[in-house]
Amino acid sequence: MDRETSLLMQLAERPDDRALRLVFADWLQEQGDPRGEIITLCARGELSLTEQRKIARLTLKHAGEWLGPLASIADLFRTRFQDGFLSELVTAPTLGVQPVNELEAKLSTVFDSLVGEPRLSTCRSLSVPPTGELPSGLERFLAHRFLGRVERLELGQLDWHSLYDVPLPHLKPSRVVVASWGAFEDELRGLEKVDVFARAESLTLSTTDFTNSPIVQRIVASVGSQLAAMKHFGEVRLHSHYGPVEGSADWLIAGDDAALVLPKLEAWSLEASEVGFLRVRGDDRRLSHLVVDLSLPEATVAERQATTSGGRPPMVVRLQTAAMVMSLLRGKGIRSVEIKLAPGARLRSTERHTLFTEARRWGTLQKFVIGDETTILP
C-alpha cells in the first residue's frame, strides 16, 4: 500500500480528525499538489475573499485529479468539494444507459470497482440521476460503511426499486431524493419497502421535466395517489431543474390536502427557477407560514436558457416569480411571511414594498419578515 492510499484509508476511518488532515495536507504539499494548501487554509479557520476565490479556482481545475478513481463516474460540473475533501458526488447521467460500445459497457459496471473507495468517507450528498438501465453493483456500492456520512441520497426510479429488502445498515440519510424524467407516475409505490427511504425525514421529488402548470398538475395528481408511501416524512419538496414556475402555486396549494393526510408533515415546499417556496405549519396546525427563499445559488447557463427570463437580471426574475406565486396564494390562510436573502444582500425599498403589498392583499397577514426587518400587523 503506497503512502497516499495509506493516508486515505486512515482518513476514511477518522474523516474529522484535524491532525490527520494536516498530516495528509503536508504530504500533498511535498508532492506539489495544491490540494494540500487548500486543506491547510480551511483547517485554519476564517478565509479571506482572495483565499476563497483561490480555493474555488484550484478546485475547479483539479477536481478530476482529486477524485481519483471516482472521476470515472463523476459529473465534474456538479460534484463539489468542501475544505479540500469530497462533499457532494453526482454521477454522470450516461451511467446505466444501455451500453452501445465498450466504453459504456465498462461504465455500466464501474460501481463494482469502487466499493469501499476511501474518498467517499467525507461525502455528504450522493446523486445517481435517472438512468435507462440499472447500474450494475450499485447495491454493493451503497452498502459500504464509508458512505455512512451521506445525509442526502438521490436515486432514479430504477435505482430505488432495486433496493427492495436490501440491508444498508450504514447508509442513514436524513433527506432522500426520488428523481424522475417526468411526473412521478409510479416512482413512489412500494418504496416503503426500502429501509433507507423509510428512515429518512425529508423527501425531495426531483424532476427534469419542464415545470409549466399542466406538468405540475400531473405531478400533483400522481403524487396524491401515492401519499401512503410518504406518511412518515416531515417535509416534502418538489425540485425542478428547468423551466418557469407558473405551476408553483398549484404545488403549494396542494400542500393543504397533503397536510390533512400526512400527520407528520410540517413543511411542503418547492424549489425552481432560483426561488424556493416553503409552507410550514403554524400554531393553528395549518400550513399558514410561508418562506420565500431568494438566496438560492444562481442557475447554470443551460438552466437559465431553458427559462423565459429573456436576459433580465436574475434578481428581477426572482422577485417577479415570488410576487406572481404570492398573488396566487390569496385565500389560503397564510398568516406570516419570511423573505430570505443571501448574506449581505439588500432589496430596494420599491422591491420590498412590492412583496409586502402582495402579501397584505391576502387579508390574513399578521407578520412580515424580510432580511432583518420585521413588520407586525394588528
pLDDT at 193: 86
pLDDT at 302: 41
C-alpha cell at 332: 389560503
Residue 140 buriedness (CB in 10 A; 0-12 / 13-18 / 19+): middle
Task: Give CA separation, 285 vs 270, 288, 373, in Å.
Answer: 20, 8, 26
Taking residues 47-58, report their average pLDDT.
Answer: 90
Number of H helices, E strands in the chain: 14, 13
Which of 229, 160, 164, 230 is CA-nearest to residue 202? 230
Read off the pLDDT of residues 59-105 as tens digits, 9 standing for 90 and up. Answer: 999 999 999 999 988 988 889 999 999 999 998 765 544 444 454 45
Radius of gyration of the chain (CA): 22
- Other Cβ atoms less than 10 A from the Cβ of 261: the count is 12
Dihedral of alpha carbons 253, 258, 264, 268, sign: negative
Average pLDDT value over all residues in the chain: 86
In the block, which residue shows the cell 398568516? 335
pLDDT at 159: 83
Which of 100, 164, 97 is CA-nearest to residue 135? 97
d(CA 35, CA 59): 8
C-alpha cell at 310: 429573456
In terms of pLDDT, which residue wins out, 311 or 230? 230
pLDDT at 167: 87
Residues 6+ apart with CB under 8 A from 124: 82, 87, 88, 149, 150, 151, 152
Is the per-residue pLDDT at 14 higher than 90? yes
Give the DSSP H or E segment for 87: strand 85-90
Q: Which residues of 280-301 are buried (b: 16+ CB within 10 A; e: fewer)?
A: bbbeeebbbbbbbbbeeeebee
Is the per-residue pLDDT at 306 higher than 50? no
Is the per-residue pLDDT at 311 higher than 60? no
Which of 173, 76, 67 is CA-nearest to residue 126? 173
Q: DSSP letters of 203-265?
A: EEEEEEEE--HHHHHHHHHHHHTTGGGGTT-SEEEEEEEES--TTHHHHHHHHHHHHHH-TT-
pLDDT at 96: 44
pLDDT at 310: 52
Phi and psi for 133 in degrees, rounded to 5? -150, 145
Taking residues 291-312, report their average pLDDT.
Answer: 61
pLDDT at 244: 60
Read off the pLDDT of residues 139-197 as tens digits, 9 standing for 90 and up. Answer: 889 999 999 999 999 998 778 888 888 889 999 999 999 988 778 888 898 888 898 99
pLDDT at 45: 81
d(CA 254, CA 185): 17
Is the per-residue pLDDT at 56 higher than 60? yes
Phi and psi for 183 in degrees, rounded to 5? -110, 25
pLDDT at 84: 94
pLDDT-derived band at 1 (thresholds 50, 70, 90) equals low
pLDDT-derived band at 108 (thresholds 50, 70, 90) equals low
d(CA 77, CA 94): 14
Percent of the chain with pLDDT over 90: 53
d(CA 377, CA 245): 29
Read off the pLDDT of residues 238-264 as tens digits, 9 standing for 90 and up. Answer: 988 666 666 788 899 999 999 999 999
Which of 126, 146, 122, 151 is CA-nearest to residue 42? 122
pLDDT-derived band at 300 (thresholds 50, 70, 90) equals very low
- Please answer whether residues 21 and 39 qualify as being in contact, where contact means their C-beta atoms are separated by less than 8 angstroms: yes
Read off the pLDDT of residues 262-297 as tens digits, 9 standing for 90 and up. Answer: 999 999 999 876 789 999 998 888 999 999 999 877
